[in-house]
Structure 1
Amino acid sequence: MDEVPFHEIYVHGLVRDAEGQKMSKSKGNVLDPLDVIDGIELEALVAKRTSGMMQPHLAKKIEKQTRKQFPNGIPAYGTDALRFTFASQATTGRDIVLSLNRIEGYRNFCNKLWNASRYVLMNVGLEADLRGEKEHSVADRWILSRLQQVAKEVADSIEGYRFDHAAQALYEFTWNEYCDWYLELTKPVLNSEQSSEEQKHAARHTLVTVLETLLRLIHPIMPFITEEIWQQVKETAGVEGETIMLQPWPEPDESLFDADAEREMRWVMDFILGIRRIKGEMNISPGKPVPVLLANVSTEDERFLAANRHYLDFLARTESVEILKPGETPPEAATALVGEMEVLIPMADLIDKEAELARLEKEIAKLRAEVEQAEKKLSNPGFTDKAPEAVVEKERRKLDNARSAMEKLNDQAERIRTL
């Protein structure tokens, strides 16, 4: 009788609709979690929202509102996507705004995890023996180091009831580091005849090890998809057990923290992103190999370049890489910075100068018309005084964005004229 019933109580915020309104039967904006999980057709949704109302006279209004908001009903998003949405928004002291667009985004996250597991199983195999000799690459060491940090961050966040921080850490690591980078970095290793068996073995081992650990980290938030994938990878990962639910929680391994590998991989990623950005700005095909010149190169830059050239050739599509001598004047080129090092792509032979200038002039003319139209509207007191503030502010942002884009295109055209 005298025992304290609870020592810790977690109180989450109010769940509101996509417009930030409190969910209420009388407002007709309540979302049944089962409808979000399994999906529901429009007519069934309308009937559900307009039946058993305390204020029947609002039925027509709610029906109209529902048909407008959900013209095709609600698609099935699944339990895991809904759970991850709630976790990602469980910010201390704030209400939860439940938007179907956000739930759809986390359903895409589930698909990303599923597709990553397909890649791993396809390249590792269901019954592969991963106990042999391994020669870990810098990418292997980097992803293993990052995994330890994420495991620590997720554990600390959950213990502190910051489920939003845990969800965010898992999302960013899974999508941005494991899927977008590490899986791509394994391709030149696994598909190259120049890679040793030890290097391929290490890549396969790292792929499945990181995936299995990641599934255990995500499992408390997304139990169903993680169980399904884990059942398929457990034997390959050398793990025994009937269910992921009874597996131990991942503990960070301090011996795998590797600051050197993280610094080197940051250099590799900045190099690749710099070239991709230049290609995007200059309208060069992403798959087109480009010659690269390097200026202001340090000893460490040279070492990183020599060790990671296979990554650069595969992911940045470098045709050649040449280091300029100190004081040597480079040709007219687009530039990206990797630390103090300059990454230069000569433009002369990569684009049709006249065709690209014509394309840019067309884009600039279109933006100029948008700027003139927005300036005319914002200089009209009849618009700025009578229109809602949100509409006026939207028009101001539109003008700023158009001006900024036009300035960038003008700079790009000027660089091309000098070629």
Structure 2
Amino acid sequence: MGMVDIGACETARWAIVDTLYFDSLRHRFVRGDIEIDDSRIARILPPRTSGRACTLAGEATVCLPGLIDSDAGPGQPDWNRHSRELAALGVTTAGVFCRGLAECAAFAAAEGVRRLLYVELGEGSGANAGAAASPPVLEGFARVAASLALSRCEVFPAVVPSEIWSAATLLAAASIAETVGRRLCVRLSATHGDAKRYKETRFFTEVGLLSYLSLLSQVTIFNVSQLTRSDVGMLNDSAANLVCAPGAVSESLLEQHFARLSLKDRALGFSINGHAVTEAERYESLVVLSMTLIHQAGDAAATCDVVVDALTRSAALALGIANIGAIAADMKADLCLFERPGDFAENGDSRDFIKLLANTKPRDVLIDGSPVVLDGAIVREPEQA
């Protein structure tokens, strides 16, 4: 039975049988049966033991968890088209910064990839009325979150320090995040020049301000332009999680075995070149980093584990989301199915995961258990997903 036949099954309970899937806890590819109930993974069983009537033969297939592009960049003239491009590359969840609640609709209108909407709160948003969360803003968040609940969207409060002059606004935004049970997303300056200009006008660094206000306990920081050893130290001293581009991981960290240096119990997610214009540019930094890691000696496998996690389960944890980013029971059935290359190792590791991403695209992509890509082609418009 093929994927098209699976879609025609009368029941939403089916299985991918005897596939080689990536176990995120062990960072190894293992064989097994993946049983799917509607939008979630019900069970992982030993190979060829599933009793499901509807099955997809997986012996020639490699199955990866859907990728998470933690900051896909808002500057897309056609978000529907961008959503299709992301899905075709294996991205099943993408984050986008929105300039206020009203802008959420521009991204929520498109179905397809799951969207994480980081709503920026500023001086004029009603979030600056002291340290307490403003009732109208809280009501707005609750209303938008409820309206988007069936559209694969999740809403997060966010701030941009370079656009905020009031400490009360930052404190109020943190209060809103705590009240709605979300991490506060903080978009820093994207370049060294912007960060320098911020410091020259404010007389302190963005991270320093946040630390002073003790906001780092439930914060996810975006847009670090270069992740240095001192940055890692500062993050380890805080409780902040981090989202950055693959290219922001400095060569010195790679040479010093980033997996060992890295973020203790902090979660790290990757923004896969969200500000690039073309598909090639968008994934250039990921491919360059991937090839560098693949050819490393010594602790390359451990470092590759960090990179794979930053594209999957760690990216989800960086934003406090527990049910995406891995192939396991009770997770969302966001899956990427690849044709298995002839030289693919039966007990491969994260290096093989990265090689697969660097060298090919998925054959099929499932989001919430439903196919959005079949044989490398989009099977429906995002609005109809």
TM tier, smaller: under 0.3
Structure number with higher helix proportion: 1
- State TM-score, norm by structure 2: 0.23
By relative contact order (CA 8 Å, sep 6+), the higher-ranking structure is 2
- State TM-score, norm by structure 1: 0.22
> Based on CA coordinates, which of the two structures has the bigger radius of gyration?
1
Structure number with higher strand proportion: 2
